[in-house]
Amino acid sequence: MADKHLKDWKNELNICIRCAYCFEGCPVFKIAGWETDSARGKIILAYGILTGNLKPSQYIADKIFQCTYCRDCSERCSAKVSVVDVLAAARADLVEAGFASDTHKGMAKNVEETGNIFGDKEIKAPVQKGEIPVYIGCQYLARPNQTKMYLKILEKLGVKPLVKDEICCGYPLHALGFRKEFAEHKKKFLELFPEKEIVALCPTCAAFIHEDYKKNVKHITQFILEHLPEKNLGLKATYHDPCDLSRVMNITEEPREILKKLGIELVEMPRNRKTSHCCGGGGGILMSDVKLSDEIGIVRIKQAIETGAPLLITPCPTCEQVLKKAAAVVSEKGDGTIQVKNLSDIVWKALKT
């Protein structure tokens, strides 16, 4: 049956009152502009699959997979529909009906064979004994210098991080509809991380391990804030809230408190905290729809430039990657410049002085 996973979300599909509040902040709808690009449109498509009025097709798959999972729609939804969960179920049904893209299938194979989304056997965690389990995640493991920086930050703050030879948290498998593969992967992850409390570097990993594995996860920003001394860097910056950190983990003030402690003048973008505009890097579109991802990133970077701040800071490696690319494109066109930095760079600079 094509609607095996969607059946679990029948009530959610019926709860949607078709109000269109989800149009307001949807980054995909703002670029593409069609009804089926909005959360409401995707919910209707999913409902059509569930009832049998629509047959799974490449068109439907393309639309369902064109979502950054930013959850702005759920944040605005008056009926509190869990849109991302519905779309994840729809994606799972579409994958099982044979509509997984080659790009996403390749990523799933990478995770299975190498333990990371990049399929790189050379990507390894810097294993070390310690007291606090720290989960690094694929994106930071692919950035060994940033990983080492975060571990050094923790050590400077008097914390001894425990680092294991880890594997992907499994979020990409679950988010992209590979449920059978995820079920097997989840067993491996739980064997590797039996601990109930974990500190995670990546916002998406933190949110997923918290939501799906039901572990007590602290994001690195929360941990740093608890131990960080006051400094004065004398910088002016704007801050980009990663979607998973703000809308899933409800972590909005801790990063700002860190910046305040470091003597940074913060200039807010109009869309911040729970209404932050997505960078365009989530939900798998960074792999399967680069053009759409780039266009969403450019919208956000222009919002940052309009603040007049010379620097944009974010704690998410994916947001950093997408926004740096967007900043380069906008600068090349002569539409303004802004430097994009990971929060780790700023904290490390402060601790070295």
Question: How many Å apart are CA 21 and CA 8, to the nearest integer?
Answer: 24
Q: What is the pLDDT of residue 333?
A: 93
Whole-number pLDDT of residue 248: 92
Low-confidence winner among 11-15, 24-28, 115-119, 325-329 (lowest mean pLDDT): 11-15
What mean pLDDT comes out for the span 244-252?
94
pTM for the model stands at: 0.92
Rounded percentage of the chain residues whose pLDDT exceeds 90: 80
Contacts 24+ apart (CB under 8 A), 17-23: 17/78, 17/79, 18/44, 19/78, 19/79, 21/73, 21/76, 21/77, 21/78, 22/72, 22/73, 22/76, 22/77, 22/83
Is the pLDDT score of 311 beyond 70?
yes
Task: Assign 105 to helix, strand or coil.
Answer: helix
Q: Residue 46: what pLDDT?
A: 93
pLDDT for the residue 297: 96
Q: At what angle do helices 179-192 and 102-114 cross, to 10 degrees?
A: 30
1 falls in which pLDDT band (50, 70, 90)? very low
Cα separation, 276 vs 269, in Å, equals: 8
pLDDT digit string (tens) for 332-343?
A: 999 999 999 999
Q: In sequence order, what DSSP letters do the residues of 196-254 get, joined into one string? A: SEEEESSHHHHHHHHHHS--EEEEHHHHHHHHPPP-----EEEEPPPHIIIIIS---HH
Give whichever of 100-104, 113-117, 301-305 has the largest mean pLDDT.
301-305
Q: What is the pLDDT of residues 52-108, one digit of tens each?
A: 899 999 999 999 999 999 999 988 888 888 899 999 999 999 999 999 989 999 999
Q: How does pLDDT run across 135-172, given as a tens digit for each residue?
A: 999 999 999 999 999 999 999 988 899 999 999 999 99
Query: At residue 307, does pLDDT exceed 90?
Result: yes
For residues 44-83, one letter each, b for 16 or more C-beta atoms within 10 angstroms of the residue's C-beta and e for the rest, the string is bbbbbbbeeebebeeebbebbbbbbbbbbbbbbbeeebbb
pLDDT in tens, 170-227: 999 999 999 999 999 999 999 999 999 999 999 999 999 999 999 999 999 998 999 9
Taken in order of first residue, the domains within the chain and their CATH numbers are: 6-96 (1.10.1060.10), 132-224 (3.40.50), 230-352 (3.40.50.1860)
* 3-class state of residue 337 by DSSP: coil
Instruction: Report yes or no: 133 and 195 within 8 Å, Cβ to Cβ.
Output: yes
Residue 245 binned pLDDT confidence (cut-offs 50, 70, 90): very high
CB 182 within 8 A of CB 96: no
pLDDT for 318: 94
Cα dihedral 205, 322, 274, 65 sign: negative
Residue 3 pLDDT > 70, yes or no?
Answer: no
* Close Cβ partners of 87 (under 8 Å, ≥ 6 residues apart): 42, 46, 64, 67, 69
Measured distance CA(70)–CA(319) in Å, rounded: 12
Separation of alpha carbons 34 and 59, rounded Å: 13
Residue 269 · residue 238 · CB < 8 Å: yes
Average pLDDT, the chain: 92
At residue 2 the predicted structure's pLDDT band, cuts being 50, 70 and 90, is low
How far apart are alpha carbons 320 and 343 in whole angstroms?
10
> How far, in Å, CA of 63 to CA of 44, rounded?
11
pLDDT of 265 over the 70 cut:
yes
- Reduced to 3 states (helix: H, G, I; strand: E, B; else coil), residue 128 is strand
